[in-house]
Chain A
Amino acid sequence: MKHLNFRYLVRYIEGDLAEAQREKADAHLADCADCRRELERVRRLRGEIGEFVSPPAELVGRVLAAVRRRKTRRAERPRYQPALRFDSWTQWAALGARGAPQERQLLFSEGAFDLDVQITRDQVPGAYILRGQVLNNTPQPAGLEGIELRIVDGNGVPRRGLTDKLGRFKFTQLEEGVYSLQVIFDDHEIVLDSLPVSDRWSGPVETNS
């Protein structure tokens, strides 16, 4: 028997074949892996197709901004450690308060940029959110959108993210631990080698300040 054609398979699925035709088709399908695959495909064609959701236009904009930035990005970029300018927890302790608020706010600066970082508990138990903003002290021709960030956990597993038009970024569901955060600009990188993500005090953040 020849392979079952498309129309025949549709009729087979819809129960539209005479008994003898159906028996012949069954016998062929039992022996022919190609036709079984095609039958499965036709079944799927007729099946319910789930919805596909478009990503927000703003996210697509960030990726396209990153593509633009890459064009002018230097292959060899110097890496700088920023200076810590503010830590809400050390301020809190200096005021003589006991314990610490759940949110920790840190402000770093390096050259023309400031880096604002907030660490809070996530809704997921035992996890944290790290959100922040890249701030520029002088206007940047390429703006602040599409700056690449990389956060690497203690096992060396990286996650990547991009800033929005205002330079904001966010990483959710981070496990408690010490991370490295890398902010990649066109001509240099800012690297925080030991960023503690926790709600427990483990000493001041180590930077070059």
Chain B
Amino acid sequence: MSIPNFDDVAVTPTMAEWDDAALMQACVAGDEQAWAVLLERYGRLIYTIPLRFGLPRSVADEIFQDVCLLLLEGRDNLRDYRRVRAWLVTVTRRLCIRRLRQQDRELVAELPEEMEDSAESAVESDLTAIEEEYLVHQALERLSTLCQELIRALFFESPPRSYDAIAKALDIPVGSVGPTRIRCLEKLRREMSRLDQEGGGP
């Protein structure tokens, strides 16, 4: 029995590096590999938004399929393919709000109108940063392992680790943690700008 060559089915690095506009053009042409890359790039974003709205996983499953099919149908006026990330956030959010309205209909019916509006806008305001947050997430994945670990340890852990603990874990001198952290943050900022201009690509 021959061993399957998994290289044949792997996503080619070139396509994974394409910007959003090029990738979307391939998706619209029905390229399955382009779709795999697009879902790898934005699947987490689409799937996480309903969860942030407090909807259960079963509903997140349904909304994920609905959004993907809308994109596949080429509906909802996505003319500028570079804006696919923003489009996905907008469409997913709209479907989530529709679900929340259905789910809370009985509760909402008992609330004065102004309270209904404020409850919904509170959920929405939590989501205004999600696109930016996802950008940080994507940009972080482009950095070296050292930078990723350093930034996660310093800024994303609660409580943050001490410089001594980080130096020991990363096997670097404690005196270099400060300067390295600034360099890594600068790289992160650059990658975010690049992603912002080009759309995705790891």
Report which A residues bind B (CB closer than 8 A). Answer: 6-7, 10, 41-42, 44-56, 59-60, 62-64, 66-68, 70-71, 124-127, 148, 157, 159-162, 170-173, 175
A148 vs B70: C-alpha distance when bound (angstroms) = 11
Find A45's partner among B45, B52, B99, B136 (CB 8 Å cutoff): B136
Do A161 and B66 form a contact, CB below 8 Å, given A48-B156, A173-B59?
yes
Whether B132 lies near A63 (C-beta < 8 A) is no
Whether A49 lies near B137 (C-beta < 8 A) is yes
Q: Which residues of A contact B39 (CB under 8 A)?
A: 55, 60, 63-64
Residues of B147-182 contacting chain A, CB below 8 A:
155-156, 158, 182
Q: Which residues of A contact B65 (CB under 8 A)?
A: 59, 62-63, 160-162
Q: Which residues of B contact A175 (CB under 8 A)?
A: 102
Residue interface mask B21-34, A partner, CB < 8 A = 1: 00000000010100
Residues of B88-125 contacting chain A, CB below 8 A:
98-99, 102-103, 105-106
Do A52 and B45 form a contact, CB below 8 Å, given A64-B32, A173-B102?
yes
- Indicate if B17 sits at the interface (CB-CB under 8 A): no
Closest partner residue, chain A, to B99 (CB atom): A173
Q: Which residues of B contact A162 (CB under 8 A)?
A: 65, 69
Q: How many residues of B are counted as interface, with CB atoms below 8 angstroms from the partner's CB atoms?
A: 47
Closest partner residue, chain A, to B68 (CB atom): A63
Whether A64 lies near B36 (C-beta < 8 A) is yes
Whether B106 lies near A126 (C-beta < 8 A) is yes
Whether A45 lies near B137 (C-beta < 8 A) is no
A71 vs B34: C-alpha distance when bound (angstroms) = 14
Do A159 and B156 form a contact, CB below 8 Å, given A45-B188, A52-B44?
no
A6 vs B191: C-alpha distance when bound (angstroms) = 14
Q: Which 8 A-B pairs have the closest CB atoms?
A: A160-B69, A52-B44, A55-B47, A63-B68, A160-B66, A52-B48, A55-B43, A46-B155
Q: Which residues of B contact A53 (CB under 8 A)?
A: 44, 47-48, 51
Whether B43 lies near A6 (C-beta < 8 A) is no
Whether B185 lies near A10 (C-beta < 8 A) is yes
Q: Which residues of A contact B102 (CB under 8 A)?
A: 124, 127, 173, 175
- Indicate if B46 sits at the interface (CB-CB under 8 A): yes
Q: Which residues of A contact B43 (CB under 8 A)?
A: 54-55, 60
Whether A48 lies near B99 (C-beta < 8 A) is no
A63 vs B188: C-alpha distance when bound (angstroms) = 32
A119 vs B66: C-alpha distance when bound (angstroms) = 20
Whether B66 lies near A49 (C-beta < 8 A) is no
Whether B35 lies near A64 (C-beta < 8 A) is yes
Min CB distance A160 to B, Å, is 4
Q: Which residues of B contact A67 (CB under 8 A)?
A: 30, 32, 35, 72
- Indicate if B58 sits at the interface (CB-CB under 8 A): yes
- Indicate if B129 sits at the interface (CB-CB under 8 A): yes
Min CB distance B135 to A, Å, is 9
Closest partner residue, chain A, to B59 (CB atom): A172
A54 vs B39: C-alpha distance when bound (angstroms) = 10
A157 vs B164: C-alpha distance when bound (angstroms) = 58
Closest partner residue, chain A, to B139 (CB atom): A45
- Indicate if B81 sits at the interface (CB-CB under 8 A): no
Q: Which residues of A contact B194 (CB under 8 A)?
A: none
Whether A41 lies near B186 (C-beta < 8 A) is no
Whether B134 lies near A52 (C-beta < 8 A) is yes
A172 vs B152: C-alpha distance when bound (angstroms) = 37
Min CB distance B128 to A, Å, is 11
